[in-house]
Amino acid sequence: FDEPLSNLDAKLRGATRREILLLHKRLGATMIYVTHDQTEALTLADRIVCMSMGYVQQIGTPLELYDNPANLFVASFIGLPPMNFFDCKVEATQLIGDGINYKLNPEQQNVLKDYVGKVITLGVRPENIIHGDDMKLDVITNENLGQTTLVHGTIAGHKATAKLREWSNYKQGDEVGVSFDRVHFFDKETTNAIR
């Protein structure tokens, strides 16, 4: 399949995607599906080959690519809304950036021991920005999606999107106290994940 749903409207695209999934299960055949739509890739694939500029970036199950992206490209491509990124300096027990202060647990300290004194890229998925008191999210817009709300704004001047598990009515200029409950680390030079 070479982008078979790209010219369909959103409702028909969703229905046809489900039909392709059912057809795949019924036939049990190997199917190769080419798409630029990461939602299609995540919902239809048993395994994903994520490519950029003709090079394979990562191969794995949808959950592997989502939970453990190999590099910044995969991290920014997989997930909707995309992952938030912040440049931070590694200290012995914490990451420090412009207005970003993230305390490292012992396991994270061990992972980053070779990066102490260096700047890395901290990645945080929108759903991993939760209510807390570590930082402030300055609200720009608020999108209610039913069970979740996308809150777009800035953390210490850096663009950020939080996906809160609630219906919220934040307005431009509001401040929301937030914390990060799961993060990813990327080498600033190679863009590869630090594990």
Q: How many alpha carbons lie under 13 Å from residue 186 in its C-beta half-sphere? A: 24
- Is the pLDDT confidence value at 164 over 90? yes
Q: Which residue has the higher pLDDT, 104 or 99?
A: 104
CA 96, 100, 101, 104 dihedral sign is negative
Q: What are phi and psi of 71, to 5 degrees?
A: -160, 180
- Is the pLDDT confidence value at 7 over 90? no
Q: Rounded CA gap, 163 and 189, in Å? A: 29
Q: Rounded CA gap, 102 and 119, in Å? A: 14
pLDDT confidence of residue 95: 96
Q: What is the mean pLDDT of residues 27-33?
A: 91
